[in-house]
Amino acid sequence: MDLSTLDRRGFLRGVGFAGGTAALASWMPAWAQPVSEGLTAPLPTVSGTDITLKIARQTMTIDGRRSAAIGVNGTVPAPLIRLREGQTVRLNVINELDEDSSIHWHGLLVPPQHDGVPGVSFPGIKPRSSYLYEFPVRQNGTYWYHSHSGLQEQLGHYGPIVIDPAGADPVRFDREHVIVLSDHSQLSPEAIFRRMKVDPGHFNFQRQTLAGLLTGKDQRLKDRVDWGAMRMDPTDISDATGAAYTYLVNGHGPFDNWTALFTPGQRVRLRFINASAMTTFNVRIPGLRLTIVQADGQNVMPVEVDEFQIGVAETYDAIVAPAEDKAYTLVGESIDRSGMARATLAPRAGMSAPVPPLRKRPIATMKDMGMDMSGMQGMEGVDMSGGSSPSRGVDPTAEKNASGRLASGIAAGAATQSTMPEMDHGPMGAMDHSSMAQGGMDHAAMGHGAMAGGQPMAGHDMGAMNMRDFSNAPQVKRGPGVQTISPMPMDRTGEPGQGLEDVGHKVLVYKDLMALDRNPDVRAPSRSIDIHLTGNMERFMWSFDGEKMSDVHEPIPFIEGERVRVNLINDSMMGHPIHIHGHFFELVTGHGDHGPRKHTVIVQPGGKVTWDFTADAVGDWAFHCHLLYHMHAGMMRVVSVRPKGEAA
Which pairing describes strands 556-559 and 636-642: parallel, antiparallel, or unpaired? parallel
Q: Which has the minimum average pLDDT: 235-244, 426-435, 517-526? A: 426-435
- The span from the CA of 590 to the CA of 407, in Å, is 25
Higher-confidence position of 80 and 424: 80
Residue 629, helix vs strand vs coil: helix
Who contacts 357 (Cβ-Cβ below 8 Å, separation ≥6)?
A: 2, 5, 32
pLDDT band with cut points at 50, 70 and 90 for residue 374:
low
Q: Which has the minimum average pLDDT: 3-12, 253-262, 279-288, 615-624? A: 3-12
Q: Taking the complete model, does pTM exceed 0.85, yes or no?
A: no
> Which segments within 107-208 are labelled E, that is strand?
129-136, 141-146, 158-164, 175-185
Q: Among candidates 536, 480, 600, which has minimal Cα distance to 231? A: 536
Which pairing describes strands 141-146 and 45-47: parallel, antiparallel, or unpaired? unpaired
pLDDT at residue 362, rounded to an integer: 84
- The span from the CA of 225 to the CA of 101, in Å, is 47
Burial state string for 375-386 with b = 16 or more CB within 10 A and e = fewer than 16 = bbeebeebebeb
Q: Which has the minimum average pLDDT: 120-124, 163-167, 212-216? A: 212-216
* 380-408 pLDDT per residue, tens: 333 333 333 333 333 333 333 333 322 22
Q: Among candidates 192, 242, 247, 243, which has minimal Cα distance to 63? A: 247
- The span from the CA of 259 to the CA of 249, in Å, is 10
pLDDT band with cut points at 50, 70 and 90 for residue 18:
very low
pLDDT at residue 446, rounded to an integer: 37
pLDDT (mean) for 466-471: 74
pLDDT at residue 144, rounded to an integer: 98
Task: Give the Cβ contact number of residue 428 at 10 Å.
Answer: 25
- The span from the CA of 477 to the CA of 571, in Å, is 13
Q: Among candidates 601, 549, 543, 551, which has minimal Cα distance to 571? A: 543
- The span from the CA of 147 to the CA of 153, in Å, is 5
| pLDDT above 90: residue 232 | no
- The span from the CA of 559 to the CA of 645, in Å, is 8
pLDDT (mean) for 275-280: 98
pLDDT (mean) for 429-438: 32
Q: What is the mean pLDDT of the chain?
A: 81
Ordered by start, the domain boundaries in the chain are 3-32, 491-642
- The span from the CA of 34 to the CA of 247, in Å, is 17
Fold that domain 491-642 belongs to in CATH: Immunoglobulin-like (2.60.40)
Higher-confidence position of 210 and 295: 295
* 44-70 pLDDT per residue, tens: 999 999 999 999 999 999 999 999 999
Higher-confidence position of 40 and 59: 59
| pLDDT above 50: residue 280 | yes
